Structure 1
Amino acid sequence: MTLALPAGIERPRPARLTAGLVLLALLAAAVWALVDLKINFATLADSAGNAIAFGKRMFPLDFPAIPELLALCGQTLAIMVCATVLSVLLSIPLALLAALNTTPNRATRGAARAVIVLARAAPDVVLAIVAFRVFGLGGLTGVLAMGLHSVGMVGKLYADAIEHIDPGPRAAIRATGAGKWQELTAGVLAQVLPSFVATALHRLDINLRVSVVLGFVGVDGIGYAIANAFERLDYHRGMALALVVLCLCVLIELISGTIRRALLGTARRTGTPRAIPGLARQPWTFARVRRAGYAVLTLAVILISVPGAGISLAQLGNGFGKLFGVLGEFLPPATAGMAGQLLGALLVTVQIALAGTLLGLVLAIPIGALAARTVAPTPRTARVFRAILVLVRGIPELVLAIVFVVVTGLGPVAGTLALGIGSVGLLGKLVADSLEELDEGPARAVRATGASRWQVFWAATVPCAIPALIAHVLYQLDVNIRSATLLGIVGAGGIGFYLLSAAQVLQFGVVTTIVLVMLAVVLAVEALAVWLRRVLS
């Protein structure tokens, strides 16, 4: 006998029920990871003495001389600018080939999407190791490693932006008899230009933090100086340089955020598809002058960054001659008799990512809610918590991992705590942005009944925000699996330790094996996230 549901209540679809069970399984796995890794108050309490001792060993901070500090900052900024430019130049044609509305051929689209996915899945540290073998020490290694890895994110977002353009302007340009190139530039690229610039600026923020990680594998700049300081156990100098990186991250984020808001705000007000094709006939308004100023400034920064990064055409040419020989060193994949150890370390890496994501979520929800202007009790509260998120997001996770390794000792506890705090910055920002973008209708309706602020939050805001929150958590888990791999480089547990050790003893076949197993995990998590978002949307 089939039971009838009350009127107005739909029977849940089997796919939604399955998705709910999968989410519960992920939550259970994250809780299990916290318990199995011994992440608890007792562990933190036992480490309190080490934290106090580390604080004494860290102060007073020892900053380099001003000329040396400016040189380190200048070289780091130049490398990350060149890497970001390289990723943009590679991503634009890849995105056009990967987008459904610009490339009808399914095989071509699939190949372009595969390249983007592979770039995103390949750890930037591994790309740096390969580039180091080919081109040697120097800024060129960092530019290529960061640039190629950035294609994974930049290319995907560019392709998504192209697929969501308004087809009207493109059809109108085609109707005038314009050629393919004119249709592409005026009808497609003109519409996505603000989004492209915003994505590039966002990647610039990320690459500054990545440069610290690459410093541990020999890439020049402030990250290399931090690595040398911590290797000498010189915490006075290492933490001083980490503070400089934090200030640079906050500064770059504030500048890029201002530019992004200006560009996207102008696009919304004026309508980019209509304004850009006729740019030559537009009056020189303040908005147009500002855009032109940004373009000139960007070009000047790029021209200065190329020599500042130490890019040499001769080094580039000589390196390409050795490329295929170096790639041959990484084949075939091998385990060096450590298959069991590698699988165990892989499990620990996944545990660190799950536990770190759960910790980050628990902290990010209240902080992100208070950072949302539509939820915070006062505008000042929202600004304060936004500033907290910016500061947390500016701290490189590798630096956090080093601090926790000193405080809690070598192992996955340090990696989990580092990822947990690091997740707060990104996840809290995504939570705040999602809450601010929600339709205010349900909240106004509940508020009209005389409900309190908390009742409105739990009865109207939270239910509407749950789908976006699930998507953000899955994205953070994806990011944390990649990050957990890298934290092992400094002894924070997981498979990253074996990755760096294999590279140091020239067992490049083992490096390839580790990359392949991590690629399989990353692709599985990404496929699961795509399926869950599709079912729950």
Structure 2
Amino acid sequence: MVAALVLLAFLGLTVWAFDDLQINVATLVDSAHNAVDFAGRAFPLTFPPVSEVLRLTGETMAIVICGTAMAVVISVVLAVLAAANTTPHPIVRYVARAVIAVARAIPDVVLAALFFGVFGFGALAGILAMGLHSVGMVGKLYADAIEKIDEGPRSAVRAGGAGRFQELITGVLPQVMPAFVATALHRVDINLRTSVLLGFVGVGGLGFEISNSLQTLDYPTGIALALIVLVLCIIVELMSGAIRRAMLHPKTTAPLARTSGQISPQWTFARIRKAFYVLLTVAIVVASVWGAHISPGQVAGALTALGRILPQSWPPSFVPGLFSALWDTIKIALASMLIGIVLALPLGALAARNVAPRAARYFRVLIVCIRGIPELVLGIVFVVITGLGPVAGALALGLSTIGFMGKLVADSLEEVDRDVEQALRATGAGRFQVFVTATLPQAAPAVVSHTFYQFDENFRSSTLLGIVGAGGIGFQLLEASRVLEYDVIGAIVVLTFGTVMVVELLALGIRRVVR
């Protein structure tokens, strides 16, 4: 009952925020002529030379992959400590959850500004900012995946005398591996768009060139480069889809073969394909580290320097207007979440192969195209169309939410136990009945978790869209970063951290009830 009341209150607040921002058809109709004018200035597109595009693409992908790999390594450790069923102690769990929340609460652009203040321009600052912030999402979703495992295999391994580490490797890891891989690949998508944002504070690659083009009102080149980012996102989506299909249902067990007195699975095509993906992943990460020109010594030195900078942000300085800007940011996040989720739920269901097998591929492509457009580019476009203010931020994030939530909903529906669906079909149930009684109930905990996670993401993104005039606390953040007012940045971090923690506690309680 409490969970239901909290959900209703959250929904009511979301609807109120949508209405308070005055997002309606009349607003869009009044801005139609601005959209036509912007299209006239942006087309035809102007693409740089092919050699320049390849150089920028390689630099961008090296930064993105290195940052994501760093986040995955850190997140696996934190997730084991943060999950209720694997943590060594409840206090350790809450500490790990707090670390994850802190990583999610500190905007990556703030981290980038801090690192640039120490190391100057270069790939390392972007990798560290991207990687440390990504821990907030990856660690949270990894911990949620561990908490949702079937405890049967783990109990069986423990009954056989296995230690804690053996339990994790043989009883937990095989169950969560599909979710781990899907989350890592999803984060590559996000970081690819994040690189556009970090370009506004000096990270090299496509993002830096996009920021230069848009700031000089060279819309044909800026939109053309954004289109290249979209193509990269589609390529990443195709690769991630192939990898996920290799790891997800239907499950197949390779026949066993006896070799030199030992029993091991035979090298079937499916096993060879999985091994190939593992080797390919390792090769890509190694090539990215080499291409970004970084070393473990540089990373260690960067973290040490960050430890010297952080004390300068305390005590925080709550300057006038900070709380009202925070409230505007919350309203933008709520309104954009409502816009996105209302459209993402049916779109995600149609993109799930076990729900709509014939139409899924087409809706997957549509989701990729929506998700591939960077939020900051959308923010600039809507600022030009609707003018400065929170309406532009809400519309930009709402459109972006459709792509993100659509993918997460589709992935959650595809990861359910197919045996339950098959059992209902055997009794004569129709496709809709199977979806309502078998598929949706199994995916409900993940969808609820993704919804609150999406609010976290929209709240963080809305702070960043303020950089381009889309309302919220982002303007104060930009000004404080420019003049290195670390105490004001500390105040913004405290406020965003408090908001994220409240949402995190609500999500933990509601997810426990829904599960």
Partner of 1:508: 486
Opposite residue 294 of structure 1, the aligned amino acid is: Y
Does 1:67 find its partner at 2:51? Answer: yes
Does 1:106 find its partner at 2:93? Answer: no
| Distance of 1:409 and 1:390 partners within structure 2 | 27
Q: What is the SS of the residue equivalent to 2:102?
A: helix
| Distance of 2:294 and 2:364 partners within structure 1 | 37
* Cα pair distance change 1:104/1:458, threshold 3 Å: closer
Pairs aligned (count): 505
* Cα pair distance change 1:147/1:458, threshold 3 Å: closer
Partner of 2:191: 207
* Cα pair distance change 1:144/1:133, threshold 3 Å: same
Aligned match for 1:57, one of 41, 50, 70: 41
Mapping 1:293-312, distance limit 5 Å: 293-311=276-294
Partner of 2:503: 525
Partner of 1:167: 154
Aligned match for 2:325, one of 345, 359, 363: 345
Larger radius of gyration: 1
Compare 474-483 and 34-43 and name the one that shifted more: 474-483
* Cα pair distance change 1:271/1:94, threshold 3 Å: farther
Aligned match for 2:237, one of 204, 229, 253: 253
Contact 2:412 2:443 in 1 (8 A): no
Partner of 1:323: 306
C-alpha displacement at 1:423, in angstroms?
1.2
| Distance of 2:349 and 2:145 partners within structure 1 | 28
* Cα pair distance change 1:446/1:511, threshold 3 Å: farther
TM-score by length of 2: 0.87
Does 1:383 find its partner at 2:361? Answer: yes
Aligned match for 2:252, one of 254, 269, 281: 269
| Distance of 2:34 and 2:62 partners within structure 1 | 37
* Cα pair distance change 1:38/1:464, threshold 3 Å: same
Does 1:428 find its partner at 2:412? Answer: no
C-alpha displacement at 1:141, in angstroms?
0.7
Contact 2:60 2:204 in 1 (8 A): yes
User: Cα deviations across residues 341-382 of structure 1 (Å, max 9, x unaligned)?
Assistant: 111111111111111111113322443344455665xx5444
Q: Which runs of 5+ in 2 are unaligned?
A: 256-260
| Distance of 1:182 and 1:442 partners within structure 2 | 33
Partner of 1:127: 111
Mapping 1:103-502, distance limit 5 Å: 103-163=87-147, 164=149, 166-168=153-155, 170-171=157-158, 174=161, 185=169, 189=173, 192-265=176-249, 268-270=251-253, 281-311=264-294, 316=299, 319=302, 322-336=305-319, 338=320, 341-372=321-352, 379-432=357-410, 437=416, 467=444, 470-502=448-480
C-alpha displacement at 1:57, in angstroms?
0.7
| Distance of 1:154 and 1:134 partners within structure 2 | 27
C-alpha displacement at 1:205, in angstroms?
2.0
Contact 1:173 1:187 in 2 (8 A): no
Contact 1:76 1:309 in 2 (8 A): no
Compare 362-371 and 38-47 and name the one that shifted more: 362-371
User: Cα deviations across residues 400-437 of structure 1 (Å, max 9, x unaligned)?
Assistant: 11111111111111101011111111223344456665
Opposite residue 217 of structure 1, the aligned amino acid is: V
Q: What is the SS of the residue equivalent to 1:269?
A: coil
| Distance of 2:297 and 2:353 partners within structure 1 | 53
| Distance of 1:389 and 1:279 partners within structure 2 | 47
| Distance of 2:30 and 2:122 partners within structure 1 | 42
Contact 2:154 2:170 in 1 (8 A): no
User: Cα deviations across residues 232-255 of structure 1 (Å, max 9, x unaligned)?
Assistant: 111011100110011101110110
C-alpha displacement at 1:318, in angstroms?
5.6
Opposite residue 483 of structure 2, the aligned amino acid is: V
User: Cα deviations across residues 50-72 of structure 1 (Å, max 9, x unaligned)?
Assistant: 10111111111111111111111
C-alpha displacement at 1:492, in angstroms?
0.8
| Distance of 1:20 and 1:92 partners within structure 2 | 32
Q: What is the SS of the residue equivalent to 1:334?
A: coil
| Distance of 1:442 and 1:102 partners within structure 2 | 32
User: Cα deviations across residues 157-202 of structure 1 (Å, max 9, x unaligned)?
Assistant: 3344445362156336636xxx776665556556654543333222
Opposite residue 296 of structure 1, the aligned amino acid is: L
| Distance of 2:297 and 2:507 partners within structure 1 | 44
C-alpha displacement at 1:317, in angstroms?
6.2
| Distance of 2:100 and 2:394 partners within structure 1 | 28
Compare 144-153 and 188-197 and name the one that shifted more: 188-197
CA RMSD of aligned residues (A): 3.5
| Distance of 1:96 and 1:250 partners within structure 2 | 32
TM-score by length of 1: 0.83
Opposite residue 415 of structure 1, the aligned amino acid is: G
| Distance of 1:34 and 1:428 partners within structure 2 | 20
Compare 24-33 and 397-406 and name the one that shifted more: 24-33
Same amino acid, percent of matched pairs: 55
Compare 181-190 and 279-288 and name the one that shifted more: 181-190
Opposite residue 231 of structure 1, the aligned amino acid is: Q
C-alpha displacement at 1:215, in angstroms?
1.3
User: Cα deviations across residues 71-101 of structure 1 (Å, max 9, x unaligned)?
Assistant: 1110110011111111122223333333455
C-alpha displacement at 1:299, in angstroms?
2.0
* Cα pair distance change 1:116/1:54, threshold 3 Å: same
Partner of 1:10: none
C-alpha displacement at 1:125, in angstroms?
1.6
